[in-house]
C-alpha cells in the first residue's frame, strides 16, 4: 500500500473515493424504490390503529420508589454450561524433602483464570507431558508472628519467622482437561521463583514447560508424577475421584 | 444456630478471583454479631476501604464463615519464656486452659510462639471448614475471639486476635497476595544473603540495573539513605519529598538493618499504615490484574462533583470506578464492585448516560440494562455524598407509560428547560411500531411526559430513525432531531421542537436541505457553531458521493440555512470517507467546533480539530502520535472538559489497556497517559 498522507494548503484537490459515484448537486434526490415501491412519508402521518405487539396504553399512574429494591433477577444459567468450565482445587502437601502429595481435592464450578507467575512459588500441571495449567503461590513455607509494636526488644518489633518443614499449597487443574482415567498421567511440578520473571511472561506456557522456559528464574522444589487414587488414603481418594468425575 | 457462610464481597466466580475465607474461632452463638462486626471492621471498612485494596476490590471475593463455638473465647496457654522472649527453644508450658471452640486455637501472647498456636486437630478442623464452606480459597483469615494483641501469618493464612488492626492485615496481604518482603529492620545485624527474589528488596546499588530503577528520579541520589535502617540522609531531603511515594534506595529491610535496601523510607511493608510504595503497589496491581479484569474500554466523562472539571467513570464488567480530574491528572475516588447501595448490580451490558438529572450542578448517571437480566432495568445513580454513587431510583421492566425492551435507545436532553436533564427514549426494533418516549426527570426519578406511538407530529417513525438532540429554537428546551436515510425512498430529516411536554414539527426536509442533497449515509452532529444560542447542524457524508462533503447548516430557530459546504477539503483537513466527528468547543468561544479522527483512509492516523468561526472552519491535526499516544484503530474518544476551563477542548482517549488525557489548546497535546491502571507515580510509570 502506498504511503498516503494528508495534504493541506492551497490547491490541494479533494480525494476522489470513486469516480463512478456522482458529485452532490442542488437537485432533489431520485426516489429509490423499496420492495419495488416508492415509499414517501406523508405530511401528516395517520395515527396507529394496530393492536398487536404494542406497548400498553399510557396510564396516569405514577411510579413510587420502594424503600428497598429487590435483587435484580438473573437469567437462569444452564447447569451443563457451568459444569463444562469447572476446575479442581487440589491441596498438595510439600514435605521438607520436596515430596509432593495430594491431601485434598474439591471441584469448583466456573471459569479459571491463570495467575501471573509472581511470588514465592510457581507450579505447572501437565498431562502426558503437555502443560495444561500453571499458577503461583505468593506466600508459602513460613510462619510469621506479627510484630509487637511496643516491644522493648527491637527484634520483637518485627516478625518472628519460622520456616515450616511441611506446608500445603493450592493447585488448580482445569477439570475438562483431565478425565479420571488420565490422573496417573498428571504431573505437578513445583518451583521456587528465584528471580522475577519477565512481566510479559505468560502464566500458562504456550509450548515448553515453564521450568524450561524460565530455567534461570525458577528452581525445582518437587514434582508429583501421577495421581493414583488407589494409593491415596481413602478419604482423599474419594475426594479426588469425586472432584474429577 | 448452625455454621454458615455469607459472601460479603462478591466480585465474580471463584476461579476468576482471589478468594478470601474468613473463619472465626471462639465465637459462641451469642458472639456472632460481634464477629460479623469485626469482619466488617477489619476487611470491608478497613483493608478494602483504602488505597490499593479499595481500587482493586473487584479482584477479590470475601466469604465470611460463621462457625459456632461451644465456648466463648479461645483456649489459653502460658509459657515460661525464661527471660528470653525472642527465643522459643527454651520455653516451657506453665499452663494450658482448653476451651471448646470450633477450630481449637490456643492463644499464648508469646511473640516467639507466633502469639498463638493450633491445638490437637486444629489443622483438620480448619481444612474441614474450608472444604465445606469455601472450597476454593487463596487467602485465609482466622479471627480469634481473644482481646489480647497478636497474630500469626504465613502460607496465605493470617490468624489474628480482636486486638489486630486492618493495617497489619493489609501488610500481611502484601505477603499473601503480592509475595512482598518486609521492609522494616528489627534485626540490628547485616543481611548475609544474595539478591532477594522479592520485588521490594535488593542488595544492588547500581542505578542502571536496580530492579525498581523505573521509579527512581535521576536527581535522587543512590543510595538515598545509608546506615542502620536509614531514612533519607544523602543530603537534605528535597522539598515535597514523600516518604512513602518517592523511591530511592534506603538501607535496611527484610528485617535486617544493614546490607540490604528497600525502595522508600516507609511503605506499608514497613509501617503498615502508609499506602504501598510505588514498587509494592505496582506488584500488587500486576498480580491482581488477571482477577480485577479492569479495562479502559467503557469510559464516560462527567463532572461528578460539580467542580467544573470533567471526571471519568470507567465500567469494567461488574465494577465501576470514578476517577477525579484535578485538571491535569486523574485519581480514583470511588470504586464499586457488583453493586452500589440502593441497589444497582453492575453487569457487562450496562449502558450509562451522564447528565445533571437533578440540577444540583453535579452529573448523575442513568444506567440501562436490557440484556443481562430476566427483565430490563433503568436506574438513576446520584452522588452518595462521599465521592461515590448510590441508586436513587430504579424501574424494573417498565415504568408508568413505558415498557422497557432491549432495543431502547436513550438520549440525554433537558427537553423542558427546568435545568434537570431528561431522557428521550426510542425503540424501533422490539414492537410492531416504533415508539418515542419523553422521560422527564423529577430530580429523584423519571416520569413519562409524553409518548409517541408510531408517529410524531409530521413524522412517520420507522426502525431506522436516528435521533440527535439540541435546542434549535434557543428557548432553553432541548429539541429532537430525527433522520431516516434507510426506510424510505428518499432520506428525511425532521426538526421537532419541544414544548416541554410534547413535540411539534418545526421543519421537515424531504430529500434535501438547503444546499445539501441528503443521502442514506449522512451523519449529523448538532451544535451551536455560530454561538447564537440556537443549536445548528454539521452534516457529513463520506461514502455516498465521489468526494466527501461537510455542511454547516445554521438554525434560524425554525429551520436550517446553509452557511458553508466543504466539498472534498475543509481548510486544513482533507476529508475522507471514514472521518469521524465529535462536537467540541476547542477555543471556548461558545461556538461548537469539531474533533475529527480518521484511522482508516490514510497510512498514518489523523486526529484533528475543526474550529468554527460561525461561518467557516479552520483545521489543525496531529499525525500518527499525539505526544506519547500512538493513535490506532482501537482508540475511542470522549470529548470533555477535564481541565475545567470551560468549553469542550479536551479528549479522553482510551482502548482496552491505555487511557490518555489530550487537550486541544494551544495544539493537540497529551497531558497524561495511563497503562492498565490509573495511578500517578511521583516518578516513573508502570511500563
Does B1 score more than 80 pLDDT?
A: yes
Q: Is residue B418 classed as helix, strand or coil in its secondary structure?
A: coil
CA–CA min distance B308, chain A (Å): 31
3-state secondary structure B465-529: CEEEEECCCCCCCCEEEEEECCCCCCCEEEEEEECCCCEEEEEEEECEECCEECCCCCEEEEECC
How far lies B170's CA from each of A216, B54, B96, B139, in Å? 32, 11, 31, 12
Q: Is residue A72 part of a domain?
A: no
d(CA A25, CA B358): 47
Residues 6+ apart with CB under 8 A from A220: A98, A189, A190, A191, A192, A211
Q: Is residue A18 part of a domain?
A: no
Q: Is residue A28 part of a domain?
A: no
Check if B306 contacts A (Cβ < 8 Å).
no
State the Cα angle at A9 between A8 and A11, rounded to 5°: 110
Task: Return the residue of A nearest to B432 by Cα.
Answer: A53
Residues 6+ apart with CB under 8 A from B365: B300, B302, B313, B352, B353, B354, B380, B381, B382, B389
**Chain A residues touching residue B623 (CB < 8 angstroms):** 5-6
- Cell numbers of B356, please? 445533571
pLDDT of residue A206: 54
Q: Is residue B271 classed as helix, strand or coil in its secondary structure?
A: helix
Say if CB B157 and CB B172 are below 8 A apart: no
State which H helix or E strand residue B39 sits in.
helix B32-39
- Cell numbers of B77, please? 496457654
Check the CA dihedral B285-B289-B292-B293 and report its sign.
Answer: positive
Say if CB B511 and CB B491 are below 8 A apart: yes
- Asked if B574's CB is within 8 angstroms of A6's CB, the reply is yes
Average pLDDT, stretch B668-675? 98
- Cell numbers of B382, please? 446520584
**Chain A residues touching residue B577 (CB < 8 angstroms):** 17
**Chain A residues touching residue B621 (CB < 8 angstroms):** 6
pLDDT 10s digit of each residue in chain A, 245 long? 578 999 988 889 999 999 999 999 988 888 999 999 999 999 999 999 999 999 999 887 777 889 899 999 998 765 544 456 799 999 999 999 999 999 999 999 999 998 888 889 999 999 999 999 999 999 999 999 999 888 889 889 888 999 999 999 999 999 998 999 999 999 999 999 988 887 655 544 456 889 888 988 999 999 999 999 999 999 999 999 999 98
d(CA B260, CA A159): 17
What tens digit of pLDDT does each residue of A126-155 get?
Answer: 999 999 999 999 999 999 999 988 888 988
Check if A202 contacts B (Cβ < 8 Å).
no
Q: Is residue A192 part of a domain?
A: yes
**Chain A residues touching residue B88 (CB < 8 angstroms):** 160
What is Dmax (Cα atoms) for chain B? 100
Q: What is the DSSP letter of B572?
A: T
Alpha-carbon torsion angle B597, B601, B602, B603, nearest 10: 110
d(CA A135, CA A123): 5
- Asked if A22's CB is within 8 angstroms of B546's CB, the reply is yes
What tens digit of pLDDT does each residue of B504-515 get?
Answer: 999 999 999 999
Say if CB B355 and CB B346 are below 8 A apart: no
Check if B591 contacts A (Cβ < 8 Å).
no
Query: Cis ω on the peptide bond leading into residue B497 (within 30° of 0)?
Result: no
CA–CA min distance B563, chain A (Å): 15
Q: What is the DSSP letter of B102?
A: S
What tens digit of pLDDT does each residue of B55-104 get?
Answer: 999 999 999 999 999 999 999 999 999 999 999 999 999 999 999 999 99
Task: Return the residue of B nearest to A146 by Cα.
Answer: B151
Work out the pLDDT band at B254, boundaries 50, 70, 90.
very high
Work out the percent of chain B whose per-residue pLDDT is above 90.
99
State which H helix or E strand residue B663 sits in.
strand B658-663
Q: Which of B460, B625, B675 to mutate to test the interface with A (most CBs of A within 10 A)?
A: B460
Into how many domains does chain A fold?
Answer: 1
d(CA A119, CA B181): 10
Q: Is residue A50 part of a domain?
A: no
Which has the minimum average pLDDT: A143-147, A193-197, B219-223, B365-369? A193-197
Say if CB A147 and CB B186 are below 8 A apart: yes
Residue B42: burial class (beta carbons within 10 Å; 0-12, 13-18, 19+): buried
Average pLDDT, stretch B116-122? 96
Check if A42 contacts B (Cβ < 8 Å).
yes
- Asked if A41's CB is within 8 angstroms of B15's CB, the reply is no
- Other CB atoms closer than 10 Å to residue A61's CB: what's the count? 10
Average pLDDT, stretch B627-647? 98
Among candidate residues B607, B628, B621, B622, the one with its CA nearest the CA of residue B671 = B628
pLDDT of residue B115: 97
d(CA B398, CA B404): 5
ipTM of the complex: 0.91
Phi, psi of A80 (to 5 degrees): -60, -40
Q: Which of A9, A18, A20, A24 to mutate to test the interface with B (most CBs of B within 10 A)?
A: A24
What tens digit of pLDDT does each residue of B443-483 get?
Answer: 999 999 999 999 999 999 999 999 999 999 999 999 999 99
CA–CA min distance A185, chain B (Å): 24
pLDDT of residue A150: 86
Say if CB B530 and CB B538 are below 8 A apart: no
Among candidate residues B552, B542, B496, B494, the one with its CA nearest the CA of residue B522 = B542
The percent helix, strand, coil of chain A (3-state, each to 5) is: 15, 25, 60
- Other CB atoms closer than 10 Å to residue B442's CB: what's the count? 17
pLDDT of residue A205: 47
Among candidate residues B621, B638, B496, the one with its CA nearest the CA of residue B558 = B496
Q: Is residue A150 part of a domain?
A: yes
Where do we find the cell 511472561?
A201
State the angle between helix axes of B166-178 and B278-292 in degrees (0 to 180), rounded to the nearest 10.
Answer: 70
Check if B343 contacts A (Cβ < 8 Å).
yes
Provide the residue range defining the domain that includes A229: 79-244
Interface size A-B, in CB pairs within 8 Å, comes to 345
- Asked if B131's CB is within 8 angstroms of A115's CB, the reply is no
What tens digit of pLDDT does each residue of B648-671 get?
Answer: 999 999 999 999 999 999 999 999
- Other CB atoms closer than 10 Å to residue B95's CB: what's the count? 9
Q: Which of B18, B61, B153, B272 to mutate to test the interface with A (most CBs of A within 10 A)?
A: B153
d(CA B484, CA B347): 32
State which H helix or E strand residue B290 sits in.
helix B278-292
Which residues in chain B (16-45) have CB-CB distances under 8 A to chain A?
16-17
- Asked if A14's CB is within 8 angstroms of B290's CB, the reply is no
Where do we find the cell 530455567?
A215
Q: Is residue B128 classed as helix, strand or coil in its secondary structure?
A: helix
- Asked if A111's CB is within 8 angstroms of B13's CB, the reply is yes
Query: Cis ω on the peptide bond leading into residue B250 (within 30° of 0)?
Result: no
Q: Is residue A105 part of a domain?
A: yes
State which H helix or E strand residue A87 sits in.
strand A87-94
pTM, rounded to two decimals: 0.95
Q: Which of A1, A21, A55 to mutate to test the interface with B (most CBs of B within 10 A)?
A: A55
d(CA B454, CA B472): 24
Residues 6+ apart with CB under 8 A from B217: B246, B247, B682, B683, B684
pLDDT of residue A157: 87
CA–CA min distance B44, chain A (Å): 21
Report how many helices (DSSP H) and strands (DSSP E) chain B contains, helices first: 6, 53
Mean pLDDT (chain B, rounded): 97
Q: Which of A63, A164, A199, A239 to mutate to test the interface with B (most CBs of B within 10 A)?
A: A63
Does B310 score more than 90 pLDDT?
A: yes
Q: Is residue A125 part of a domain?
A: yes
Among candidate residues A124, A52, A196, the one with its CA nearest the CA of residue B200 = A196
Which residues in chain B (240-299) have CB-CB distances under 8 A to chain A?
255, 283, 286-287, 289-291
Q: Is B605 left (phi over 0), alpha (psi -120 to 50) or beta?
A: beta
d(CA B389, CA B282): 27
d(CA A154, CA B537): 74
Amino acid at each position: 500500500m502506498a504511503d498516503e498522507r494528508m495534504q493541506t494548503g492551497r490547491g490541494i484537490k479533494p480525494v476522489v473515493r470513486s469516480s463512478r459515484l456522482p458529485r452532490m448537486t442542488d437537485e432533489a434526490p431520485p426516489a429509490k424504490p423499496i420492495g419495488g415501491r416508492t415509499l414517501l412519508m406523508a405530511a401528516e402521518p395517520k395515527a396507529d390503529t394496530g393492536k398487536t405487539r404494542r406497548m400498553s396504553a399510557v396510564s396516569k399512574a405514577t411510579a413510587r420508589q420502594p424503600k428497598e429494591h429487590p435483587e435484580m433477577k438473573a437469567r437462569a444459567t444452564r447447569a451443563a454450561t457451568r459444569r463444562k468450565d469447572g476446575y479442581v482445587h487440589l491441596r498438595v502437601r510439600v514435605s521438607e524433602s520436596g515430596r509432593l502429595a495430594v491431601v485434598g481435592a474439591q471441584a469448583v464450578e466456573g471459569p479459571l483464570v491463570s495467575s501471573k507467575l509472581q511470588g514465592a512459588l510457581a507450579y505447572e500441571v501437565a498431562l502426558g507431558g503437555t502443560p495444561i495449567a500453571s499458577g503461583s503461590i505468593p506466600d508459602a513455607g513460613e510462619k510469621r508472628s506479627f510484630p509487637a509494636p511496643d516491644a522493648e526488644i527491637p527484634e520483637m518489633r518485627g516478625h518472628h519467622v519460622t520456616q515450616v518443614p511441611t506446608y500445603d499449597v493450592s493447585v488448580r487443574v482445569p477439570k475438562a482437561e483431565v478425565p479420571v482415567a488420565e490422573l496417573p498421567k498428571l504431573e505437578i511440578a513445583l518451583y521456587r521463583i528465584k528471580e522475577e520473571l519477565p512481566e510479559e511472561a505468560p502464566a500458562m506456557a504456550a509450548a515448553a514447560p515453564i521450568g524450561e522456559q524460565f530455567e534461570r528464574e525458577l528452581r525445582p522444589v518437587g514434582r508429583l508424577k501421577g495421581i493414583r487414587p488407589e494409593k491415596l488414603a481413602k478419604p482423599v481418594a474419594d475426594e479426588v475421584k469425586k472432584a474429577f468425575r | 444456630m448452625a455454621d454458615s457462610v455469607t459472601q460479603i464481597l462478591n466480585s465474580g466466580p471463584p476461579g476468576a478471583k482471589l478468594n478470601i475465607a474468613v473463619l472465626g474461632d471462639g465465637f459462641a452463638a451469642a458472639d456472632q454479631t460481634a464477629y460479623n462486626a469485626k469482619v466488617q471492621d477489619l476487611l470491608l471498612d478497613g483493608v478494602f476501604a483504602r488505597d490499593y485494596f479499595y481500587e482493586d476490590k473487584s479482584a477479590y471475593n470475601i466469604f465470611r464463615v460463621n462457625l459456632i463455638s461451644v465456648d466463648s473465647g479461645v483456649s489459653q496457654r502460658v509459657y515460661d519464656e525464661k527471660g528470653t522472649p525472642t527465643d522459643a527453644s527454651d520455653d516451657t508450658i506453665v499452663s494450658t486452659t482448653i476451651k471448646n471452640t470450633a477450630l481449637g486455637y490456643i492463644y499464648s501472647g508469646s511473640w516467639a510462639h507466633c502469639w498463638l498456636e493450633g491445638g490437637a486437630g486444629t489443622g483438620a478442623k480448619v481444612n474441614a471448614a474450608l472444604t465445606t464452606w469455601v472450597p476454593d480459597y487463596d487467602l485465609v483469615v482466622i479471627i480469634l475471639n481473644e482481646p489480647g494483641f497478636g497474630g500469626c501469618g504465613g502460607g496465605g493464612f493470617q490468624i489474628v486476635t480482636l486486638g489486630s488492626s486492618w493495617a497489619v492485615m493489609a501488610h500481611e496481604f502484601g505477603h499473601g497476595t503480592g509475595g512482598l518482603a518486609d521492609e522494616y529492620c528489627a534485626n540490628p545485624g547485616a543481611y548475609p544473603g544474595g539478591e532477594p527474589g522479592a520485588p521490594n528488596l535488593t542488595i544492588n546499588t547500581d542505578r542502571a540495573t536496580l530492579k525498581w530503577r523505573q521509579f527512581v528520579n535521576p536527581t535522587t541520589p543512590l543510595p538515598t539513605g545509608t546506615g542502620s535502617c536509614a531514612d533519607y540522609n544523602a543530603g537534605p531531603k528535597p522539598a515535597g519529598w514523600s516518604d512513602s511515594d518517592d523511591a530511592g534506595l534506603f538501607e535496611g529491610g527484610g528485617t535486617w538493618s544493614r546490607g540490604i535496601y528497600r525502595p522508600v523510607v516507609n511503605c506499608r511493608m514497613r509501617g503498615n499504615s502508609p499506602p504501598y510504595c510505588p514498587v509494592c503497589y505496582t506488584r500488587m496491581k500486576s498480580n491482581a490484574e488477571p482477577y480485577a479484569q479492569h479495562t479502559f474500554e467503557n469510559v464516560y466523562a462527567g463532572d461528578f462533583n460539580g467542580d467544573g472539571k470533567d471526571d471519568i467513570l470507567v465500567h469494567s464488567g461488574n465494577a465501576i470506578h470514578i476517577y477525579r480530574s484535578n485538571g491535569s491528572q486523574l485519581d480514583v475516588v470511588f470504586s464499586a464492585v457488583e453493586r452500589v447501595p440502593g441497589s444497582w448490580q453492575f453487569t457487562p451490558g450496562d449502558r450509562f448516560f451522564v447528565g445533571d438529572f437533578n440540577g444540583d450542578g453535579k452529573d448523575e448517571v442513568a444506567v440501562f440494562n436490557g440484556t443481562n437480566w430476566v427483565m430490563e432495568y433503568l436506574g438513576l445513580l446520584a452522588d452518595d455524598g462521599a465521592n461515590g454513587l448510590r441508586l436513587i431510583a430504579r424501574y424494573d421492566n417498565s415504568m408508568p407509560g413505558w415498557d422497557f425492551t432491549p432495543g431502547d435507545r436513550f438520549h440525554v436532553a433537558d427537553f423542558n428547560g427546568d435545568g434537570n436533564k431528561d431522557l428521550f427514549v426510542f425503540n424501533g426494533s422490539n414492537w410492531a411500531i416504533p415508539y418515542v418516549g419523553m422521560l422527564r426527570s423529577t430530580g429523584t426519578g423519571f416520569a413519562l411526559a409524553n409518548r409517541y406511538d408510531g408517529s410524531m407530529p409530521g413524522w412517520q417513525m420507522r426502525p431506522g430513525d436516528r435521533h440527535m438532540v439540541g435546542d434549535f429554537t434557543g428557548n432553553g428546551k432541548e429539541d429532537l432531531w430525527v433522520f431516516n436515510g434507510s426506510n424510505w425512498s428518499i432520506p428525511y430529516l425532521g426538526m421537532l421542537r419541544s414544548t416541554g411536554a410534547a413535540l411539534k414539527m418545526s421543519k421537515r426536509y424531504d430529500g434535501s436541505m438547503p444546499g445539501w442533497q441528503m443521502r442514506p449515509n449522512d451523519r449529523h452532529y448538532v451544535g451551536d457553531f455560530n454561538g447564537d444560542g440556537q443549536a445548528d447542524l454539521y452534516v457529513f457524508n463520506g461514502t455516498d458521493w465521489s468526494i466527501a462533503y461537510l455542511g454547516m447548516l445554521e438554525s434560524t430557530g425554525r429551520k436550517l440555512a446553509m452557511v458553508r459546504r466543504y466539498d472534498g477539503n475543509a481548510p486544513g483537513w482533507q476529508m475522507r470517507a471514514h472521518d469521524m466527528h465529535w462536537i467540541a468547543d476547542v477555543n471556548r468561544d461558545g461556538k461548537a467546533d469539531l474533533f475529527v479522527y480518521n484511522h482508516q483512509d490514510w497510512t498514518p492516523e489523523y486526529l484533528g480539530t475543526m474550529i468554527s468561526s460561525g461561518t467557516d472552519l479552520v483545521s489543525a491535526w496531529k499525525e500518527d502520535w499525539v505526544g506519547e499516544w500512538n493513535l490506532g484503530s482501537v482508540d475511542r474518544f470522549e470529548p470533555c472538559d477535564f481541565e475545567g476551563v470551560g468549553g469542550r477542548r479536551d479528549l479522553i482517549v482510551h482502548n482496552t489497556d491505555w487511557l490518555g488525557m489530550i487537550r486541544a489548546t494551544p495544539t493537540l497535546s497529551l497531558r497524561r497517559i495511563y497503562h492498565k491502571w490509573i495511578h500517578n507515580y511521583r516518578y516513573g510509570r508502570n511500563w
